[in-house]
Amino acid sequence: MFDPARILQSLPEGMPPPPPRFTFPFHYRPHPLALAAVEDLQLHLADPNRSWEHPFGVQADQTGGGGKMFGVLIVRRPDGTLAYLAAYSGKLADSNHLPGFVPPVFDLLIEDGFYKLGESEINEVTQDIDRLRACPDFRDARLAYEQAVSHAESSLRDERQRLKNAKHARRERRASVAGHPEAERSALERELSAESIRLSYGLKDLKRALEHQVKIKKEKLEEYTTRLEALVARRAEMSADLQQRIFARYSFLNARCEERDLNAIFAPTVFGVPPAGAGECAAPKLLQYAYLHALEPVTMAEFWWGQSPDSEIRKHGHFYPACRGKCEPILGHMLNGLDVDPNPMLENPAIGKSLEILYEDDMLLVVNKPAEFLSVPGKHIEDSVYSRIRKLYPEATGPLIVHRLDMSTSGLMLVTKTKEAHKLLQRQFFRRSVRKRYVARLRGEVAGDSGTIDLPLRGDLTDRPRQIVCGEYGKPARSTWQVIERSPGRTLVHLWPVTGRTHQLRVHAAHPAGLNCPIEGDDLYGQSGDRLHLHAEAIAFVHPATKEPLSFEVRERFPDVS
């Protein structure tokens, strides 16, 4: 049983042998040793008598402290026996140190530490900024300047209108003496010219006078704005310096006893600098503690406990891989020297699979893509629908691929042989006149029988390729659905994507504001399995040349699951 009095926790008797290699942290199924440790830790998290309190809300309608990522690491002691460590991401119950959990790599919350001192100094500057912004003299100076500018603009506008009216009057006076003697016309012209010059000089004098008044008010205001800008710049400099000192203190070991800080780890990445929260996830904490105490990492697992956040999809009790944005660079360093499982994303999942061609003519093809088969070449794997069609039809022109399916999704795809066919079919997709139907088996029992889901989506910048729901920056995403079969713990549904966002159906199925039931086998938004139970079973479109309506359907029988 999890013992809060110690950090190194015992494993139950009769455990299976450890795995031959350490877990690849970005794509895995938990080893039985990790599952036993997780079960032990979760009993502690569910215990209402635990030594600390955090109100985990599990149901969507519960309020509380929300959820948290936890991790366990099976380790081998120097004497060869196994035990496990536990950690949580970030802070929990406003603490970096809770009984039974490993400490942070660096504790920002130490009362007499440089972070607290630096934070206090920055807060003092912030208070100076707030006081200056609230200063009555500053407000009066800004108001006086704004009023001077407004008065100058309105006065010049009125004066220019007066000059315009005078010009119009002079034109009428000239017209009124058109037939008069030359001497009379010349005298009037001299009078009108003198008036025009006088009014023009008057406008210039007025403009100079108003500009002088505005300048005086602006100089008074700048006495305050210059002080404010200096304080803001000083605060920014202090914050940047403090952040750099923090990054330098987050120093990580690896199995070769090599040490690198966050600045060095993230310098060669696309970020260039560490993102917020880097180093605070469970996995780096666990590995750092193991290395510091001569414990050999054996296997690990991370899971979500508690209420799901609003944007991400995190299900209570589900396992999730380490995040790529923050953890991949850190773990890339920390796992050096360990024998780690190979990256399954570097293995070609299409080996031994064939691409079924359902329809073919001179312009296009309809193919049935197997699950775990790329639509287009990936970063590391060339084999794909595109590459195989290119080999079959080397004379084909144009981009070939009209639309894509996720690698894990099976089903119908349109492929073109000519550039013109590609252009015309893409136009149908843009106009949303191509009708597609998917079938999916969901893990859970869906409430209701049909409906529409509107949840805007954008990429998770720190954990590609995951998508998150985002009302502020997300692109509109709409799906309609209908239940076609129910069984205990599972629901079979038809899905119609109105828009075509990345992972749209997967997110709309799993999100609490969607169907709240992830697709079976979804390793990103649900639980991994034999395959993703999502199949593009029907497609209908207009032939680009004959204008004949075409439709195709291929049913899929998903593997049985318990």
- Alpha helices by DSSP H, listed for 315-464, are 324-334, 385-392, 419-430
Per-residue b or e along 16-41, where b marks 16 or more CB atoms closer than 10 Å to that residue's CB = eebbeebbbbbebebbebbbbbbebb
**DSSP-derived 3-state class of residue 497:** strand
Give the count of beta carbons closer than 10 Å to the beta carbon of residue 118: 17
Q: Where in the sequence is the domain holding 98, given as residue range(s)? A: 9-106+250-345
Residue pair 323/332 in contact (Cβ under 8 Å)? The answer is no
Give the end of a domain, one of 324, 345, 366: 345
**DSSP-derived 3-state class of residue 419:** helix
pLDDT at 133 over 80: yes
* Residue 115 within a domain: no
Same domain, 396 and 525: yes
- Give 445-457 as a DSSP string: --SSSEEEEE--E
Same domain, 362 and 328: no
Report the relative pairing of strands 364-369 and 356-360 from DSSP bridges. antiparallel
Confidence of residue 63 (pLDDT cuts 50, 70, 90): very low
- Give 253-274 as a DSSP string: E-TT--EEEHHHHHTTSSSSSP
* Residue 558 within a domain: no
Same domain, 331 and 313: yes
Measured CA to CA, the distance from residue 305 to residue 318 in angstroms comes to 8
Q: Over range 279-308, report the average pLDDT.
A: 96
Same domain, 48 and 165: no
Measured CA to CA, the distance from residue 388 to residue 390 in angstroms comes to 5
* Residue 114 within a domain: no
Give the end of a domain, one of 290, 310, 345: 345
Same domain, 206 and 312: no
Same domain, 166 and 204: yes
Measured CA to CA, the distance from residue 428 to residue 414 in angstroms comes to 12
pLDDT at 165 over 60: yes
Report the relative pairing of strands 410-416 and 534-542 from DSSP bridges. parallel
User: Who's near 220: CB < 8 A, 6+ residues apart?
Assistant: 141, 144, 145
Confidence of residue 555 (pLDDT cuts 50, 70, 90): very high
Confidence of residue 561 (pLDDT cuts 50, 70, 90): confident
* Residue 259 within a domain: yes
Token pair for 92: 């929990």
Question: Cis ω on the peptide bond leading into residue 284 (within 30° of 0)?
Answer: no
Same domain, 418 and 540: yes
* Residue 408 within a domain: yes
| Domains: count for the chain | 3
The pLDDT assigned to 339 comes to: 97
**Is 53 or 201 the better-scoring residue by pLDDT?**
201
* Residue 3 within a domain: no
- Give 283-294 as a DSSP string: HHHHHHHHHHTT
The pTM assigned to this predicted structure is 0.78
User: Who's near 299: CB < 8 A, 6+ residues apart?
Assistant: 18, 19, 22, 23, 30, 31, 33, 34, 73, 74
Same domain, 387 and 498: yes
373 alpha-carbon distance from chain centroid: 25
Same domain, 339 and 355: no
**Average pLDDT in the chain:** 92
Q: Which sequence positions are flagged as catalytic?
A: 406
Amino acid letter, 392: L
Q: 345-377: per-residue pLDDT in tens?
A: 889 999 999 999 999 999 999 999 999 999 999
Measured CA to CA, the distance from residue 157 to residue 151 in angstroms comes to 10
